[in-house]
Amino acid sequence: MAELGNPKNTIEILNKYNFVFRKKYGQNFLIDTHVLDKIIQAAEITKEDFVLEIGPGIGTLTQYLCENAREVVAVEIDKMLLPILADTLSPYENVTVINQDILKLDLKALIQERNNGRPIKVVANLPYYITTPIVMDLLEKQLPLVSITVMVQREVADRMQSGPGTKDYGALSLAVQYYTKPYIAANVPPNCFMPRPNVGSAVIRLTLHEKSVVAVEDEKLLFRMIRASFNQRRKTLVNGLNNSIEVSFDKEAVQKALEVLGLPDNIRGEALTLGQFAALSNELLNSTTCN
């Protein structure tokens, strides 16, 4: 079988099926075998693993996954790619292609049915316009996952792993770090794709925490507070929370909670760690419930 990490083989298969790239799906196919190897290494795929691949495209990364994993389920939204995948994956008996929108698929049922509910690994070269919604959907559903290894826009990878006080730190950083430990495994230049994107990319592995890294009493409140504090990034945390429609704490309550935690009342949200946000949400929840 022709290895699709080779640009020549990719062009041949696209021409064979008269495939036309569709902008609405943000399709950029990998054409670099070194990057494909790095993805497999970063995801630590072994013959014990059940892997869910999102957006297999023409099957470039899928071939590598099939060679290294016990079983692969590849979810592809574009039905025009199905005959190509049937061709490029024909040598492999350990892969199933599902033509579905990943955001509408019952993944919990899939994992139960195909892997007896045991934790799986997710690997994906995602369209950049939908990277964050898909990653957050996977995390918020609290599925049995070991890790998510994805190709993302470089600046998104930077945001996912940034810490307090940096320009890239924000709601995405905190949400990703609440559920996982992020690690950038490789930087990937535009010439590794066909067609070439306009931005640099990165492979990032998000390893799920085995147990929560912070103690939080109301997860939804925590994330509403985080969003509110970064929606008006230049405002102090007190004003950001007071002006937000997402939370309903008055200035005095926020100032008092900050004081209890030993934080100045002019602090901005971008200066707080995940642990401090969790402590603040717990303090506000308990102080307002007691009143």
Same domain, 260 and 283: yes
Same domain, 23 and 71: yes
Same domain, 147 and 228: no
The single-letter code of the amino acid at 270 is: E
- Residue 291 pLDDT > 50: no
Query: pLDDT tens digits for 155-166?
Result: 999 999 999 989
Query: For residue 1, what are its two tokens?
Result: 């079988």
Is position 213 within any domain? no
Number of domains in the chain: 2
Pairing of strands 95-99, 71-76: parallel
Same domain, 176 and 227: no
Same domain, 51 and 170: yes
Same domain, 185 and 274: no
> To the nearest whole number, what is the mean pLDDT of the chain?
93
Phi, psi of 29, deg, nearest 5: -90, 135
Same domain, 202 and 250: no
- Residue 290 pLDDT > 50: no
Same domain, 118 and 40: yes
Is position 280 within any domain? yes
Q: What is the CATH number of the domain that holds 127?
A: 3.40.50.150
Q: Secondary structure of the chain in the HEC alphabet?
A: CCCCCCHHHHHHHHHHCCCCCCHHHCCCEECCHHHHHHHHHHHCCCCCCEEEEECCCCCHHHHHHHHHCCEEEEEECCHHHHHHHHHHCCCCCCEEEEECCHHHCCHHHHHHHHHCCCCEEEEEECCHHHHHHHHHHHHHCCCCEEEEEEEEEHHHHHHHHCCCCCCCCCHHHHHHHHHEEEEEEEEECHHHEECCCCCCEEEEEEEECCCCCCCCCCHHHHHHHHHHHHHCCCCCHHHHHHHCCCCCCCHHHHHHHHHHCCCCCCCCHHHCCHHHHHHHHHHHHHHHHHC
CA distance 192 to 15: 19
Q: What is the CATH number of the domain that holds 257?
A: 1.10.8.100
Same domain, 81 and 112: yes
Which pLDDT band holds residue 1 (cuts at 50, 70, 90)? Answer: low
Tokens 């999102």 found at: 54
Query: For residue 12, what are its two tokens?
Result: 């041949």
Is position 2 within any domain? no
Is position 283 within any domain? yes
Same domain, 95 and 203: yes
Note the pLDDT of residue 120. Answer: 98
Peptide bond into 195 cis (omega under 30): yes
Is position 165 within any domain? yes
Is position 16 within any domain? yes
Is position 1 within any domain? no
From 160, 177, 208, give the residue that closes a domain.
208
pTM comes to 0.93
Same domain, 28 and 101: yes
Query: pLDDT tens digits for 120-156?
Result: 999 999 888 889 999 999 999 999 999 999 999 999 9
For 221-225, the CB contacts below 8 A with 24+ separation are 221/247, 221/281, 221/284, 221/285, 222/178, 222/277, 222/278, 222/281, 223/171, 223/175, 225/277, 225/280, 225/281, 225/284
Question: Given CA atoms 280, 270, 138, 39 in this order, what sign does their dihedral have?
Answer: negative
Pairing of strands 29-30, 50-54: unpaired
From 176, 208, 240, give the residue that closes a domain.
208
**Domain of 14, in residue numbers:** 7-208
From 154, 179, 208, give the residue that closes a domain.
208
Query: pLDDT tens digits for 195-239?
Result: 899 999 999 999 999 998 999 999 999 999 999 999 877 889 998
Same domain, 59 and 179: yes
Which pLDDT band holds residue 289 (cuts at 50, 70, 90)? Answer: low
Tokens 């996954």 found at: 65
